[in-house]
Structure 1
Amino acid sequence: MIVSVNNIKLNFEKSGNGQALILLHGNGEDNKIFDKAIPILEKHFTVYAIDLRGHGSSEEIKEYHYLDMVEDIKEFIISENIAGPIVYGFSDGGIIALLLASMYPKLLSKIIVSGANINPKGLKAKWIILFKVMYLIKKDSKVKMMLEEPNISIEMLNKIEIPTVVLVGSRDVIKENHTKLIVDNIKNCKLQILDGEDHGSYIIHNGKIANIILENT
């Protein structure tokens, strides 16, 4: 399905019944990464799996910025008349969820985020080096965004009042102390460290994330 929001055309898939659950993928992916999770989740929720701008079947763009994506999802929620959705976001999707909850505190009912960072320094050093090399070779603006953004302040985290769950793999690309910084600065926040998992091993084409979402809702 296609919807026009914030001067961009977004593709999304809708299925199931119940409370609204919005799924947001990571950088360079699309909603198909949730193919194993959606059949489980749609038994409990009305699931909206969105392709972020410039990803999947959504409209192509030249420059990528997290704040643009935040406005896309805000307008999507309003245009689809979705009341108090839960938002689950992986990686970039988690960044967007944090920003949404901070900037529009009355819009959502809960966020669950996996492998999110509030600034590029939250990435482990070897990954920053890898992304810099990737950008030098490919000049991919999606990679450029990860190297320069987001810029979420502690004050912004303090504004998040809805229940929040932060997930991170024990072998994630995000620094452990960075994840704890996020958790410590959100009022109603729970941290869950997934032993043996990396950044996306329990999410991408994997039903584990569905069961984790159900356990936390």
Structure 2
Amino acid sequence: MPTLVLFNKPYGVQSQFRDDDNNKFTPLAEFFDDKSLRVAGRLDATSEGLLLLTADGKLNKAITHPPKANSGRKQGKTYLIQVEGIPTAEQLTQLGRGVMLKDGKTLPAKIKHVSVEDLPIALWPRHPPIRERKSVPDSWLILTIFEGKNRQVRRMTAHVGLPCLRLIRWSVAGFELKDLAVGESVHVSLSREQCQQLGL
């Protein structure tokens, strides 16, 4: 069975192994020695949370290109998003239905406004900490999308007037961050059922 690495990517770490010149962010090579690993779905350096890596090309393709690789089954990606402001019912409806960005309208998504106590994980301190404005409240959203436009989540929330302060990816294609500590990784062997769900 194919093997997948689940990594809780810290803020400021790139989703690539190579260290670009004059780059202020940390490369993945500082966390992994296995040069056969490839990232299955990038995560911006300024975002945190679940990053998947694998040395299996078919598994990588099934996760990153689901329409062709697994008969059109859409693999959702769920994010925990701290935004500036309190979302209105209209803003939540817009995010759920899809918003028009410069590169096209986003697909319908699942969106929920929650309290920090209702997040599926206990949050860790971010370094550096997010900027806080005492005069402006903040909120947490749980958003599941089914595509991967560049910086999509940040652009979606900004589009409806909810600037993103912190972005944590909680799950990808059915794999969850759970209680994995920041900077830690775990190797998992996929079950037959998981392979079937991914179209392998």
Structure showing the higher helix proportion among its residues: 1
Larger Rg: 2
Q: Same fold (TM over 0.5)?
A: no
Q: TM-score, normalised by structure 2?
A: 0.28
